[in-house]
């Protein structure tokens, strides 16, 4: 294990961070409203998946491994949410997206949540400012607006 450099520690010490929202993840499929009991994860392993590259991909794989299952069969990996949602809308792919994105645009995208018995860790969205620095009025207005905009999602996305 490596220890952080003194320059890195000084940089971190000079930053202030504030969480705005935790983005909870949902498995998604094409179609209308989804009700009922959670789907077991086992049959979903062999379905074609389209997952974003990076942390989300690692979290999905870890969630399946935590259930003692293999990673889902990824046919497509992408950094494009538009491509991911378009592929899911065809009805031939499964994927994962944030609950807030699904809540805001599920009708437009033609997507619905799929209740699955796996837990995908949420990602955090926040603000980082420099400690001891005055924030400009424009930046403060942005921060206040971001807090106001994300407040309704704070507890409803779970």
Residue 97 parent element (H or E): strand 95-98
Alpha helices in 42-134 (DSSP H): 55-66, 81-89, 99-109
**pLDDT tens sequence across 67-113:** 899 988 877 888 898 888 888 888 888 888 888 788 777 778 788 88
pLDDT tens-digit profile of 17-74? 777 777 677 776 665 444 456 777 888 888 899 988 888 888 888 988 998 999 888 7
Angle, CA 140 vertex, CA 142 and CA 55 arms, to 5°? 55
Position 54 scores a pLDDT of 87
- Structural domain spans, the chain: 22-125
- Chain CA centroid to CA 10, Å: 30
The fold of 22-125 is: D-Maltodextrin-Binding Protein; domain 2 (3.40.190)
Nearest to 112 by CA among 54, 36, 4: 36
């Amino acid at each position: 294990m490596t220890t952080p450099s003194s320059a890195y520690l000084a940089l971190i010490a000079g930053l202030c961070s504030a969480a705005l929202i935790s983005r909870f993840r949902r498995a998604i499929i094409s179609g209308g409203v989804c009700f009922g009991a959670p789907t077991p994860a086992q049959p979903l392993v062999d379905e074609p998946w389209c997952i974003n590259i990076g942390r989300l991909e690692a979290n999905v794989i870890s969630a399946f491994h935590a259930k003692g299952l293999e990673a889902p069969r990824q046919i497509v990996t992408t950094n494009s949410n538009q491509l991911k949602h378009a592929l899911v809308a065809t009805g031939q792919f499964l994927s994962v997206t944030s609950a807030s994105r699904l809540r805001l645009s599920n009708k437009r995208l033609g997507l619905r949540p799929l209740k699955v018995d796996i837990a995908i860790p949420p990602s955090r969205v926040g603000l980082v400012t420099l400690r001891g620095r005055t924030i400009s009025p424009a930046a403060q207005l942005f921060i206040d607006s971001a807090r106001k905009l994300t407040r309704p999602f704070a507890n409803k996305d779970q």
